[in-house]
Structure 1
Amino acid sequence: MSIKSYTKYKDSNTVWLRNVPEHWEVKRLGYFFEERREKVNDVDYQPLSVTKNGIVPQLVTAAKTDDGDNRKKVCKGDFVINSRSDRKGSSGAATLDGSVSLINIVLKPRDEIKIDFAHHLFRSQPFQDEFYRFGKGIVADLWSTIYSDMRNITLAIPPHMEQDSIAEYLYRETEKIDALVSEQERLIALLKEKRQAVISHSVTKGLDPTAPLKDSGIDWLGNVPSHWEIKSLKFIANVQTGIAKGKDISGKSTIEVPYLRVANVQDGYLDLSDVATITIPIADYSRYALCYGDVLMNEGGDFDKLGRGHIWRDEISQCIHQNHVFAVRPMSVSSEWLNTITGSGYAQFYFMTRSKQSTNLASISSSNIMELPILLPSIAEQIEILTYITKETRKVDDLINNSQRSISLLKERRNALITAAVTGKIDVRGL
């Protein structure tokens, strides 16, 4: 549906707004809001978090100063925005009383502006860009905006009834878009489950449903094809641990080399957009050097990082790896089969049940990795299974990519709609 524009516009004399409807009031932000600066504690005032989804109750108790009053008071109907540029988009209208960390700016609206309209205006992309343009700092890509600068941002505000119309329209339309995004996200989750099921079934049961089975002797693995071998990983591969930072290299001949970190080793691919370097003794290089065909695996971190990995194919010369990334070097098995096994559901289950765990974190030792049972069909059957997995997962990956593109387009549509409505480029009255 095409939405009409307003009939008359005027120049706002500001770049981020440009022309605005003629009857909208153009004034600085400080005319419509005052800063709420009262400090409180998180005992008497519920701690709130400022997120990209709005203002929500904080799940972790905030740190306290000696007097305990290290929070800013928030009242229902205030608008709160995180002042740091690395938290861009973290803002929203408060729907309950409470307190937020001092890094946030708390705005109390005056009578001239409705908080529901401000919620959409301040969360629009152009306003966020303008807000952080006023920021100051000495660290690249990390600065903060203070209220004394923020108050000088020019706003264009429609009359009260029109603010209500715009807010109601945007709540209704964004709810529809968000519902479509949620559907696509659920579809992606189901497709990923299907992808994992294809891999796990293929590497534990094979492709022949009539093949006789035998008890694997492992409760959580169950029956496997009777003609397959089962060997611990230590008998078919070596596990190489990586280098730890901070070693004393004084007085030694050194070399600076690239090295892989956990962030570089993703699930099924390598992210080499940001590879760090490290200076090590020349004598230590061969101990940590990666070789073509190594299966890289993460020691842990967040649960989703545990055991994830990919095959190293000499993408970077003279590269080593840190101690939180294992290099599993095949001896009597192909890299492709080993990588598929370690990425399967049964291997992930093994890693999780044998890892050291704390809140949202897990890590596994090299000795536990070496005990991972590896199922070994014949070489010919391995190739057949890998070919099948590649074909089937490619179909699923195509569907996942389609859904991800749909989500991107929906989010672009959402942002564009909000921007057009709150800056007066479209007239949604009566819709």
Structure 2
Amino acid sequence: MVERFKKSKFEWFDEIPLSWSESKISYLFEIGRGRVISQQELKEDGMYPVYSSQTKDNGCMGMIDTYDFDDNLITWTTDGANAGTIFIREGKFNCTNVCGTLKPILDIELKYYYYYLQFVTQFYKRPDTNGAKIMNNEMANIHTLIPPKETQIHIAKFLDKKTAEIDAIIEKKENLLLLLEEKKKAIINEAVTKGINPNAPMKDSGIEWIGEIPEHWEVKPLGYLGSCQNGVSKGGDYFGEGHPFVNYGDIYKNYELPTTVEGLAKSSEEDREAYSVLYGDVFFTRTSETIEEIGIASTCLKTIENAVFSGFTIRFRPYSLEELYPEYSKYFFRSNYIRVSLVKEMNLVTRASLSQTLLKSLKVILPPYEEQKSIVLYFQNKFQTIDKAKEKIDVQINKLKEYRQSLISEAVTGKIDI
């Protein structure tokens, strides 16, 4: 028998089942937060996981010998590119200060709210300099539905089964994407360190782990080729409306900056001059909890008018675009060579951090300008098949994720008869 509906008190839902109640997250959960845990505290032989803002490895950044929690909880990422990401944590574990915690104070099915929050947090995230935020006070005010306990259990079991099937397909496609990306990076790394002429005379690069480079190439510190600038750092009220704002995610996810960005900021004329985003600029991710997310580069191939960029990033602006071809920058600064070079010297305290001083000292392996253009053409020809395959897989993954999210939203709001 299909249940009758009543009008919801909340703007995101039209109607909800008649037997369901409504409240806020603070009515159902005790809301907490993790603590600052530095990379230096992590131990290879540690016994208990430390969960952070990342989503890789189920959010685990490493292990330590002590634990702060021994419970079944929901955690969420409070800020950054992954803000609003929801997990269930069980047993003995730790959370960093960018993880919020939800401990049930009523008799509820935790797994139902794990799915419910996956759906509803998207409406509560607010823009911020490092991507987005959803802090404890915002989580507390999230409107929540309260189905009968048996219904919660039933929905959770249904979604466990259905999402597992979808996730298995997504995982296979994402693994294929990783293989294609590794193939692409191998081609890039070989070309930007050895060139594309196998008969070119070689010389010692002076970089121990690189060895020889083409004889006519130069090696220069990045600081000799241009200037560096940290991005704008403001409070939360600065974001959400106004002029274009390039955030951490725009850089982290893309070889080249999107020509249209979603972020907005209330930037002044002085801000837009000091933190401008021009053709040829290269942006690097500057800070994160994990070293793997630092020093990721994205190149601007089309000026974004009136834009500013995030304080969690660094802009490198070449002195001359006739010395460093922007389309070449797109590939060179995304190469494994850059990642290894920066990781070797990265500062690790409570968060991994890339300084301007370190970035300026980065040794750039520099072919002549015309050869940079030739290498770009070589990449474009090589990557046609790879990029088309990746685009096709990306479309398939996005459709699967949309279907997964739609299924969750319909189930947790009582729209489908399970």
- TM-score in terms of structure 2 length: 0.62
Distance 1:175 1:383, change over 3 A: same
Of the three residues 346, 354, 357, the one matched with 1:363 is 354
Q: How many angstroms apart in 1 are the aligned matches of 2:218 and 2:347?
A: 25
Distance, in Å, in 1 between the alignment partners of 2:94 and 2:338 is 45
Secondary structure of 2:208 counterpart? coil
The amino acid across from 1:358 in the alignment is V
Distance (Å, rounded) in 1 between the aligned partners of 2:94 and 2:398: 34
State the Cα deviation string for residues 81-132 of structure 1 (Å, max 9, x = none): 87x999756365x7558999997462432xxx7x3xx623662479848998
Change (3 A) 1:353 1:275: farther
**1: CA distance, partners of 2:217 / 2:3:** 78
Whole-angstrom CA distance in 2 between matches of 1:289 and 1:131: 29
CA contact (8 A) 2:251 2:298 kept: yes
The corresponding residue for 2:227 is 240
> How do 1:286-365 and structure 2 match up within 5 A?
293-298=279-284, 300-302=286-288, 303=291, 304-306=293-295, 308-311=297-300, 313-316=302-305, 324-330=314-320, 332-365=323-356
Paired residue secondary structure (1:242): strand
Using a 3 Å threshold, how does the CA distance of structure 1 residues 264 and 328 change in structure 2: closer, same or farther?
farther
1:387 aligns with 2:385: no
Contact 1:121 1:127 in 2 (8 A): no
What secondary structure sits across from 1:241 in the alignment? strand
Structure-1 residue corresponding to 2:104 = 106
Q: Quote how far apart the aligned CAs of 1:371 are.
A: 5.8
Query: Given that residues 260 and 276 in structure 1 are in contact (C-alpha distance below 8 angstroms), is that contact kept between their aligned partners in structure 2?
Result: no
Match of 1:230 among 212, 218, 235: 218
1:26 and 2:19 matched:
yes
- Alpha-carbon contact 1:337-1:382 (below 8 Å) kept: yes
What aligned pairs does 1:92-131 form with structure 2 within 5 A after superposition? Answer: 95-96=90-91, 104=102, 106-109=104-107, 115=109, 119-120=111-112, 123-124=115-116, 128=120
Say which SS state the counterpart of residue 274 (structure 1) adopts: strand
Query: 1:252 aligns to what?
Result: none
Which residue of structure 1 lines up, in the alignment, with residue 40 of structure 2? none
Partners of 1:91 and 1:371 in 2: CA distance? 37
Query: 1:13: which partner in 2?
Result: 6
Distance in 2, Cα, partners of 1:384 & 1:123: 50
Structure 1 contact 300–363 (Cα < 8 Å) conserved: yes
How far the C-alpha of 1:389 sits from its partner, in A, is 0.7
What is the Cα deviation at residue 320 of structure 1?
9.6
Deviation at 1:225, TM superposition (A): 3.4
1:182 to 155, 161, 171: 171
Structure 1 residue runs of 5 or longer lacking an equivalent are 1-7, 62-70, 133-138, 247-256
Q: 1:349 to 1:124 in 2, by over 3 A?
A: same
Separation in 2, partners of 1:211, 1:129:
56
User: C-alpha offsets along residues 160-210 of structure 1, whole Å, 9 cap, x if unaligned?
Assistant: xxx776654432332222222222222222222222111111222233345
Identity %: 17
Shift of 1:420: 5.0
Look up the equivalent residue of 1:90 and give its one-letter code: I
Question: What is the CA deviation profile of residues 235-291 of structure 1, one whole-angstrom value per residue up to 9, with x for unaligned ones?
Answer: 9x6322337879xxxxxxxxxx99977666554223544356246599xx7xx5869
What secondary structure is seen at the aligned counterpart in 2 of 1:269?
A: coil
CA contact (8 A) 1:120 1:418 kept: no
Q: Report how many aligned residue pairs link the two structures.
A: 360
The answer for the alignment partner of 2:138 in structure 1 is 143
The residue type equivalent to 1:315 in the other structure is I
Give the equivalent residue in structure 1 for 2:197: 208
Quote the offset at 1:306 in angstroms. Answer: 1.6
Q: 3-state DSSP class of the match of 2:187?
A: helix
Asked if residue 194 in structure 1 is aligned to residue 183 in structure 2, the reply is: yes
Q: CA RMSD in A?
A: 5.4
| Distance of aligned partners of 1:107 and 1:412 in 2 relative to their CA distance in 1, 3 Å threshold | farther
Report if the CA contact (8 A) 1:292-1:314 is conserved.
yes
Amino acid at match of 1:301: T
In the other structure, the counterpart of 2:255 is 268
Alpha-carbon contact 1:75-1:97 (below 8 Å) kept = yes
Q: Is the 8 A contact 1:265 1:296 kept in 2?
A: no
Deviation at 1:425, TM superposition (A): 2.5
Change (3 A) 1:91 1:333: closer
Contact 1:206–1:385 (CA<8 Å) still a contact in 2? yes
Partner amino acid, structure 1, of 2:393: S
Per the alignment, residue 413 of structure 1 pairs with 403
For 2:205 and 2:381, locate their aligned partners in 1 and report how far apart those are by CA, in whole Å: 28
Match of 1:300, as an amino acid? R
Q: Please tell me whether the aligned partners of residues 277 and 309 of structure 2 are also in contact (alpha carbons under 8 angstroms).
A: no
Offset of residue 399 of structure 1 = 2.7
Rounded to whole Å, the distance in 2 between the matches of 1:50 and 1:307 is 19
Q: Is the 8 A contact 1:294 1:328 kept in 2?
A: yes
Tell me, yes or no, if the aligned pair for 2:30 and 2:102 is still in contact at 8 Å: no
Gaps of 5+ in 2: 36-47, 125-132, 234-242
Distance in structure 1 (CA, Å) of the matches to 2:105 and 2:310: 48
Structure 2 residue identity aligned to 1:296: V
